[in-house]
Structure 1
């Protein structure tokens, strides 16, 4: 899956995902704040030209049982986010050091201030937030210092000007139309030839809860953690849980980074969803899959049990107002 390749070492999300992180939901602003053990921010270079890329590094020192994920707002004012990267802390090192590297460009001259950078922090006491203060940056013009004295200055965008050029576009367009007509005629003849052929009846797919429970049962039967394949176990279980959440709530959860997944679920109506348990599961899965953290057989069993718990608490979907309650599909014995 693309999100597995792109969001390695990002908690929060692809994945380095090639788009800025999703905006923090309104609930994130109400989370209690936490202060890291240490925080440093630097800009390279310290003076940049208008529109020139520069690097903004944020180094956070924190306890090893905490995890920091970036939650940039969609509007950065005078700045544009070009890319972002996260370097996770070394496993087993206390205190942990997480490095965020943002590549930005500025579009306003003079002394400008970088926006505050919010972080969503996973702690043993639940989710919290940390907001890094902004930093002042000098942005210079791309023109030389004597440009104004020599009559050079920034010019506004000029209106379009017609330029006559020789083009073979008309001829190529006619040839393309003839080729398309020939292909259409061939496709019509092929359709006429095979339209009366009997079609095999497609078997309708099983309900979502039945397919999800079957996948959990198959994963349990493989007993991967007993074979020392803990990482494979968490990859498979994470894919089952994300696939269920995406189909249950109507979005592509497999392509979301961990932070994008949690942010999306907080923005929609999710009755019965065990949010704290899901956040712990996502965090533990990322630590095992990407940070090479160890996981005991008991932890693997608890993670699998959470998959059943998630299914039990969120299925079947609640009926719409005024509708008769639906009858749940038979899905076999439930294993805690």
Structure 2
């Protein structure tokens, strides 16, 4: 019995605590600062899917600020499409009148109530309070068969060409400007080109000077011999002499075999010792290139010495053109040289 009495007392305490009135912050704000609110709609009966306006008109003291809320609250069966804050209007009595329009819609039919919702205001001293809109009754109905038949549903209009100013004059003007620009650019280019002074071309090096220079470069390239790249070394020194022979006498030595080169050189009536030097030089080069002969370092550099002796012995010989070589003609200067050598 004692336990039941305690339970009864405890239950009564919980009921009292649940119904106890908690002081609201709004109660501490003077009544003169509480905003006045008017709630209305543009129509109370709509068709399903229609959008209607819920208008909230707030009149408040200038020292009070209305805190506008977003769309993140529930209005039952109604969906908030947009919220449009209206312009503020100062009344003759000094207060401010402001309208907020909520565009609502629903896709349910029947009798509904737009539920009231709270808005917040704030005073100059930072106190906040709330005020509530009024509930609004809305009837939502669907179309009757007669209304559906009378709906004026029109086909999509065909595309219409917008009448406007022709672009042809602008196109022609742009084309003319482009043509003028091209003509001007061409004229300036021609004028600049005439003013340019063409530097005289450097005369080519004589064959023997070119051969001396390339042989000196090859002698300084110690990497080929150090890395035992004898084939590459032989090809390089052989090409230097072949190019020299081609430049000196017009023999296409770069494309000839060794035998073909020696045949051509033999026809030049050179000194026998010089011809022997040619023969030994090309033979040693062929050994390195094709027989994979690996000479000693001194033997490899002796090829460069032999090439330089060839140039030394023939650099003063008369130069023949390729046409003269093909006709096997010896220039007068060559004939004179041969006669003089015979007399010696």
Q: TM-score interval w.r.t. the shorter chain?
A: 0.3 to 0.5
Q: TM-score, normalised by structure 2?
A: 0.35
- Relative to the length of structure 1, the TM-score reads 0.36
**Relative to total residues, which structure has the larger helix share, 1 or 2?**
2
From the CA coordinates, give the structure whose radius of gyration is larger. Answer: 2
